[in-house]
């Protein structure tokens, strides 16, 4: 099914949307840039399975052959996993040229939100969103994810912003943009690898239906932007804040020394943190994603 010349829905996703069934969008940057092969592909398949187990149809999103795809085949997911960082990491700014050239792209949070909204998918699960990078007040390095949340009406379910970022400034930016940030079962912003950041949240929901009702209210009011739902990492996978923050500081120092900038920063830092923690951070990352997908599917079902 195609709603315009660039959007391509898988038959399963198209049928689910037509029938009014719950659908959850999933990103593909985590496949190509977030983990090594074959763990990236195994994680993507597991996310789709968890989504289905919780009552929703998964719609993994990517740009393939110049098409905005919502819903991928197993072969397409495997292709993205094998290609890895050779696939363009695609955000909003990259989409037009990739489409014009008939190229491939692994979609970030911002790009996945765009595809989801075009397709009519209201809920999207990811690991952590991008945000204001540390020293962002000097470098102006601010993820396009934040602006996308201010203008694209999709509910993004995450474990907070990635812990390598400046979390207080990220929250200030979201507040300025008027983005509702709802803690799912928490009054504190989760910090990706840990459940605690020390940053209080003013909005909290304890049931998926509460979030679904809020999304419907925003839609009825004609709100232009999205909603951010932050879910704490499960306690058994939560890392010690002092330990992981020390690791992140070491990784940031190395990135600065090597002159890593732009969209290369996040993959570099995540890989470095993985190495420094002996793989523990990657395990935490995988399990927080699983938890977010489960929550997103329950919210989609409540809609």
| Boundaries of every domain in the chain | 1-121, 126-303
Indicate the pLDDT class of residue 268, thresholds 50, 70 and 90. Answer: confident
Among 8, 89, 162, 272, which one carries the catalytic annotation?
162
Averaged over 294-298, what is the pLDDT?
98
Q: What is the pLDDT of residue 106?
A: 98
> Cβ neighbours of residue 272 under 8 Å, at least 6 residues apart?
250, 251, 254, 255
Indicate the pLDDT class of residue 3, thresholds 50, 70 and 90. Answer: low
Averaged over 133-145, what is the pLDDT?
87
CB environment 36-67: b (16+ within 10 A), e (fewer): eeeebbebbbebbebbeebebbbbbbbbbebb
CATH of 126-303, one of 2.60.40.60, 3.40.50.150, 3.40.1790.10, 3.40.50.2300: 3.40.1790.10
Alpha helices in 33-101 (DSSP H): 39-53, 74-83, 95-101
Averaged over 170-179, what is the pLDDT?
97
Q: What is the pLDDT of residue 164?
A: 83
For residue 286, pLDDT beyond 50: yes
Does residue 162 carry a catalytic annotation? yes
Q: What is the pLDDT of residue 2?
A: 44
CATH of 1-121, one of 3.40.1790.10, 3.40.109.10, 3.40.190.10, 1.10.238.10: 3.40.1790.10
Q: What is the pLDDT of residue 1?
A: 39
| Strand partners of residue 58 | 24
Taking all residues of the chain, what is their mean pLDDT, rounded to a whole number?
94
Q: What is the pLDDT of residue 113?
A: 98
Contact of 223 with 245, CB cutoff 8 Å: no
Does residue 27 carry a catalytic annotation? yes
- Reported pTM: 0.94
What is the percent of the chain with per-residue pLDDT over 90, rounded to a whole number? 82
At residue 71, φ and ψ (nearest 5 deg) are 105, 110
Indicate the pLDDT class of residue 265, thresholds 50, 70 and 90. Answer: confident
Among 8, 27, 148, 294, which one carries the catalytic annotation?
27
The residue ranking higher by pLDDT, 196 or 266, is 196
């Amino acid at each position: 099914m195609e709603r315009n010349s660039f959007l391509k829905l898988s038959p399963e996703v198209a049928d689910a949307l037509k029938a009014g069934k719950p659908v959850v969008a999933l990103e593909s940057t985590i496949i190509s840039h977030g983990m090594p092969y074959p763990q990236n592909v195994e994680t993507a398949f597991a996310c789709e399975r968890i989504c289905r187990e919780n009552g929703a149809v998964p719609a993994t999103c990517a740009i393939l052959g110049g098409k905005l795809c919502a819903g991928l085949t197993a072969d397409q997911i495997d292709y993205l996993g094998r290609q890895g960082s050779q696939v363009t990491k695609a955000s909003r700014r990259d989409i037009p040229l990739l489409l014009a050239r008939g190229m491939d792209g692994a979609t970030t949070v911002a790009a996945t939100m765009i595809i989801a909204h075009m397709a009519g998918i209201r809920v999207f699960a990811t690991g952590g969103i991008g945000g204001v990078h540390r020293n962002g007040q000097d470098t102006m390095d601010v993820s396009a994810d934040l602006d996308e949340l201010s203008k694209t009406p999709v509910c993004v379910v995450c474990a907070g912003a990635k812990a390598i970022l400046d979390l207080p400034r990220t929250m200030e930016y979201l507040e300025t943009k008027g983005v509702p940030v709802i803690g799912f079962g928490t009054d504190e912003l989760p910090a990706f690898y840990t459940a605690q950041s020390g940053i209080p949240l003013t909005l909290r929901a304890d049931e998926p239906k509460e979030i679904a009702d809020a999304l419907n209210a925003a839609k009825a009011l004609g709100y232009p932007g999205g909603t951010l739902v932050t879910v704490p990492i499960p306690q058994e996978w939560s890392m010690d804040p002092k330990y992981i923050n020390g690791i992140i500081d070491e990784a940031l120092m190395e990135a600065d020394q090597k002159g890593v900038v732009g969209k290369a920063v996040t993959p570099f830092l995540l890989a470095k943190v993985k190495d420094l923690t002996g793989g523990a951070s990657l395990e935490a990352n995988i399990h927080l994603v699983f938890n977010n997908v489960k929550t997103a599917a329950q919210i989609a079902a409540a809609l």
